[in-house]
Structure 1
Amino acid sequence: MLIMKKRMFIAISCLLLLCSIWPNFVSATKARDRSEILQNIDEYMNRSMEVNQIRAASLSIVKGNEVYYAKGYGTFENGQSVTSDTHFPIASLSKSFTALAVLQLADNGLIDLDAAYNSYFPDNLAQDPRVHNITVRHLLNQTSGLNDQINPDMTRKPQFQTLHEVNRLLTEVQLAHSPGTAYSYHNPNYVLLANLVENVSGERFSDYLNKHIFQPLGMNHTFSVSTTQQFYENVTIPLGHYLSLGRAVGQTEPMWFIEGPAGIVSTAEDMSLWMLAQYHEHLLSPTLMKQYHAAGAIGPYGMGWLADQDESWGRIISHSGIFWTYKSEEKIFLDEQMGIAVMFNSGLNAYVNYSTFIDEIAKIMRGEKHATSFVNGRNMEMIMITLIVATLLWGVYACFRIRRRNQILTIRKMMWITIGRIIPIVILVFLSPLMTFIGGGRVLPWFGIWTTLSTPIIWLVVWSIVNLVHLACYYYVYVQHKKYS
């Protein structure tokens, strides 16, 4: 009996000891797991930035009810380190803020989403009577009938200077299609919405955002600007870049009026608070909150968000932001209660898939395999540089070969040779409409085409010059043959 009591005492003591150390063991395991995840994220970010020649970036991750990770990567031009409080333009991620401002006013009964936009501006006249049928919801859903082809935005000269000027475009424009019948992503839709917020609230748009969205959410380092030129008045924003011949080139943005669709500047810390608010804060009444995160009537674009449903992740809202020297991506997994946002000081590039950053980081968060794609800025730039050098070498060799050829050139052959040699010139001449077609109808300025396709354009120019020299050689040989025949 005494032996049994001793054994029971020892067993109970061991159990109590195990219970006392178990929470610490679990805590250590969680800490180690989190530390490993963050290390994997850092390694992925540093590696991906290096192979894509990205100088500076900022990452926000939220999970559950906490800021899981907020960090800056890289440096400013002067070598200053990027931190989680470094400012980055978020470009079109701004649209979800503008949409929220409109919905807040709708929640307060000051805006009817299905009322005509012009009903809030009774003095507005319009050449196209369909303009009077554009509702606030059409503008939110990007189904107003406006698009870049009938109302060029980035190429507009002069650019708007204030929101009050924007109503002019509705008096002059002929809509591309009737409101509510087709989707066309068009930034001025959200300029008009910003103007509506300013008109209905009686506050400047930037002041409204600060008072009713930024401050309540604790986003104390976030602000809104009217034009891209204001980026360079703030030394806390890293200079933007584009990629050319394998190197990052510092460049300021061209003048563009962006208040409403793309004017917000924020930090990793503040973007974390914004993402948390999408599934924790009561930003709107339940009915409007549901509409805020839902797809539109005729497409995935809803109210400042692209809405999607994934078998693995559940409900997702997302948006990307594009400038020529800055880029941003944001994705919020509503059912998983997780959000990821990444901001870069490099712009739209043909070889860099910025959305991959979020997809791969999401895999790391889930413990899945992740990888850096072979198709990246460094590899593709090296391929293009090799192609440029090869084109030059081929051009020199072909010149000597053409001059030494004995084959008689007929007019028919010369016509075919000429057609073949002007192909790169034709591509260069029609590059702008080609990019508009590829970009879903968005009219791009030549500055934007250059920053997006700098090295391919250099190759096309080199190829064109080589071909023109070849043509000159062919015509010289043709004339010589005609002369002595």
Structure 2
Amino acid sequence: MWIRTKKKALIPALGLAVAALAGLSPAAVAEPPAAFAEPVSASLTPAAIDRFLNDYLDETGLPGAVVAVTRGDDVVHTAGYGHTAGGLTMTGRTPVPVASLSKSMTALAVMQLVEAGKVDLDRPVRVYLPEFTMADGRAERITVRQLLNQTSGMADSAFPDLTLPQAHTLKGAVARMRGARLAAEPGTRWSYHNPNYFVAARLVEVVTGEPFADRLRTHVFAPLRMADSRSVDSTTDMPEDARGYVRAYGRVIERAHPRWFTAGGHGVVTTADDLARWLIAQNNGGVGADGRRVASARSVATTHTPPKGEEYAMGWSLGEAEGGDGPREIRHTGELLTQNAIQILLPERRIGIAVVSDTGMISGDDSAGIADGLRELAEGRPPEIEKPFTMTADHVLAALTLLALGLGTLGTVRAAGWARRAAGRPLWRAVPRALPYAGLVALFPLLPELVGLLMRREGTLDQVLYVWPALYVCVAAAALASAVVLAVRGAHLTRGLVRRRRAAAS
């Protein structure tokens, strides 16, 4: 699954279109923070949250979302808004896929084994999981910590997971990596790669002797009373098969999700009510709202703490507020092609925010925008409705698409005249004039690689159509128009040559 990129980083993608046309030991237990480090605004109320969410849905056309907001040991608000792709009204108990938010739960399951003395974060994975082998001797040195920090050296550039046939079990997900190589020396470079967490989940299975989904249910969800949460093996096991929406040209379009293997990396299905319980434990040193401990405070802190010089911890990323002028936050996003999610912790205030919406990554970037608004509420500021990036960019791409088709039509109409002029020149002079058209034709099959560079993930053309439909259509239109111009010019040039040869022969 492609990781979410901030909207500012997407501007170069639009520019491409324009240019184309133009250390832990087991188990210390610490107490959670006793009080807020900063006062919390009274503006963070259920009524204010409802008002903001309803305004957001009205202004953006978002079909549906669920929200969980917590403060200390208390649930401020859980609710659903709008509807699912199946037409069901969304509530605080509506099951929703949270995609890569699942990684934080997998990491906690591993940390429980560390506390129990069954796993050492700094020992090689193969000590616990002998079946984990790759076509690269360096893989024998990958440690458990490097899996969870995503510094194992595995990467989409070496093993493009989502472009390959999908596994059906965790054992199969690990086995299909036997022919893969590493992209970097273990421990030297961070790279977001879902198979890190497939391997981590399989390690949990082998060490405990329990199916991963059962272990997560009994040792992570049950202690926190997350009774409506579960882990599934694929998107086809999710509610409505993870069916949702993508945005295009200011509209939302319902789409089915392709089958992806998800266990360990992005397979948890939960509810807003359960997410609230999860957030409370994360902000409370591993202790749930009812006082039950799911993990030690030290274990939770370890999952929140990245290696030196990095931002990514273990299913969480550490950073400053947007713009760098606010308090520290811990967050993780999660995206499927038709759903997206985000969870944010504000440790200084012990506030937790989680949002899941039924729109897909990039095209629907809704969960992050909603979460930013809720954070503004938490900070005592009026929340701004930040519309998804594509709601503006798609109109530019639509204009460029029409321009490409118009220029293609004009070039086709004028092809005969171009061929007559070219007939009197050396052939080599025609080649440079054809290169821009050939470049646009070549750009279309390269589109997944270009988008992948921006998103740091590997994908397919079909996935680009989910991720950013308007960009796909724009580049496809430019490629088609260019191909037609080249073909018609070539046909006229060939006919002219044939006529001249016949005339010379007669």
8 A Cα contact 2:57 2:64, kept in partner: no
Deviations 1:82-131 (Å, cap 9, x if unpaired)?
11111111000000000000001111111111111111134666653322
Q: What is the one-letter code of the residue matched to 1:263?
A: G
CA distance in 2, matches of 1:467, 1:336: 56
Deviations 1:405-450 (Å, cap 9, x if unpaired)?
798333354223211222321111222222332222x221332122
For the pair 1:262 / 2:266, whether they are aligned, the reply is: yes
For the pair 1:215 / 2:230, whether they are aligned, the reply is: no
CA distance in 2, matches of 1:65, 1:276: 6
1:446 to 461, 475, 483: 461
After TM superposition, give the deviation of residue 481 of structure 1 in Å. 7.0
2:421 to 408, 421, 440: 408
After TM superposition, give the deviation of residue 212 of structure 1 in Å. 1.0
After TM superposition, give the deviation of residue 319 of structure 1 in Å. 0.5
2:472 equivalent in structure 1: 457
CA distance in 1, matches of 2:317, 2:437: 44
CA distance in 2, matches of 1:251, 1:87: 18
Going from structure 1 to structure 2, the CA distance change for 1:244 and 1:35 (only over 3 Å counts) comes to closer
2:316 equivalent in structure 1: 305
CA distance in 1, matches of 2:327, 2:43: 28
1:111 equivalent in structure 2: 119
Going from structure 1 to structure 2, the CA distance change for 1:144 and 1:247 (only over 3 Å counts) comes to same
1:229 equivalent in structure 2: 236
Going from structure 1 to structure 2, the CA distance change for 1:425 and 1:130 (only over 3 Å counts) comes to same
Going from structure 1 to structure 2, the CA distance change for 1:373 and 1:164 (only over 3 Å counts) comes to closer
Q: TM-score, normalised by structure 1?
A: 0.84
SS at match of 2:163: coil
Which range moves more in the overlay, 321-330 or 143-152?
Answer: 143-152
SS at match of 1:339: strand
SS at match of 1:145: coil
After TM superposition, give the deviation of residue 38 of structure 1 in Å. 2.7
After TM superposition, give the deviation of residue 286 of structure 1 in Å. 3.4
Going from structure 1 to structure 2, the CA distance change for 1:469 and 1:369 (only over 3 Å counts) comes to same
1:25 equivalent in structure 2: none
CA distance in 2, matches of 1:123, 1:451: 35
For the pair 1:332 / 2:348, whether they are aligned, the reply is: no
1:381 equivalent in structure 2: 394
Please show how residues 51-90 of structure 1 align to structure 2 within 5 Å: 54-90=62-98
For the pair 1:139 / 2:147, whether they are aligned, the reply is: yes
CA distance in 1, matches of 2:399, 2:317: 39
2:452 equivalent in structure 1: 436
For the pair 1:163 / 2:178, whether they are aligned, the reply is: no
Task: Report the number of matched residues.
Answer: 448
For the pair 1:295 / 2:306, whether they are aligned, the reply is: yes
1:358 equivalent in structure 2: 371
Going from structure 1 to structure 2, the CA distance change for 1:32 and 1:133 (only over 3 Å counts) comes to closer
For the pair 1:201 / 2:224, whether they are aligned, the reply is: no
Going from structure 1 to structure 2, the CA distance change for 1:218 and 1:45 (only over 3 Å counts) comes to farther
SS at match of 1:115: coil
CA distance in 1, matches of 2:380, 2:452: 40
CA distance in 2, matches of 1:340, 1:428: 39
1:341 to 345, 348, 354: 354
CA distance in 2, matches of 1:357, 1:165: 37
SS at match of 2:352: strand
SS at match of 1:198: helix
Structure 2: tracts of 5 or more residues without a match: 1-40, 288-292
1:424 equivalent in structure 2: 440
Going from structure 1 to structure 2, the CA distance change for 1:468 and 1:223 (only over 3 Å counts) comes to same
Deviations 1:448-476 (Å, cap 9, x if unpaired)?
12211322222222222322333345446
CA distance in 1, matches of 2:156, 2:398: 33
Going from structure 1 to structure 2, the CA distance change for 1:461 and 1:47 (only over 3 Å counts) comes to same
CA distance in 1, matches of 2:304, 2:208: 23
After TM superposition, give the deviation of residue 369 of structure 1 in Å. 4.2
After TM superposition, give the deviation of residue 69 of structure 1 in Å. 1.7
SS at match of 1:172: coil
Please show how residues 12-23 of structure 1 align to structure 2 within 5 Å: none
Deviations 1:29-52 (Å, cap 9, x if unpaired)?
x999836623542244324541xx
8 A Cα contact 2:68 2:77, kept in partner: yes
Q: What is the one-letter code of the residue matched to 2:253?
A: V
Deviations 1:49-79 (Å, cap 9, x if unpaired)?
41xxx32211111123211121212123453
Going from structure 1 to structure 2, the CA distance change for 1:39 and 1:175 (only over 3 Å counts) comes to closer
1:34 equivalent in structure 2: 45
Which range moves more in the overlay, 119-128 or 353-362?
Answer: 119-128
CA distance in 1, matches of 2:67, 2:462: 28
CA distance in 1, matches of 2:211, 2:419: 76
Structure 1: tracts of 5 or more residues without a match: 1-29
1:247 equivalent in structure 2: 251
8 A Cα contact 1:408 1:481, kept in partner: no
CA distance in 2, matches of 1:82, 1:320: 20
CA distance in 2, matches of 1:42, 1:127: 49
Q: What is the one-letter code of the residue matched to 1:362?
A: R
8 A Cα contact 1:271 1:341, kept in partner: yes
8 A Cα contact 1:40 1:364, kept in partner: no
Larger Rg computed on CA atoms: 1
Q: TM-score, normalised by structure 2?
A: 0.80
RMSD: 2.8
After TM superposition, give the deviation of residue 317 of structure 1 in Å. 1.3
1:189 to 196, 199, 205: 196
Q: What is the one-letter code of the residue matched to 1:149?
A: S
CA distance in 2, matches of 1:94, 1:419: 47
Going from structure 1 to structure 2, the CA distance change for 1:128 and 1:375 (only over 3 Å counts) comes to closer
After TM superposition, give the deviation of residue 478 of structure 1 in Å. 4.9
CA distance in 1, matches of 2:135, 2:414: 62
2:486 to 459, 471, 481: 471
8 A Cα contact 1:87 1:238, kept in partner: no
Q: What is the one-letter code of the residue matched to 1:451?
A: Y
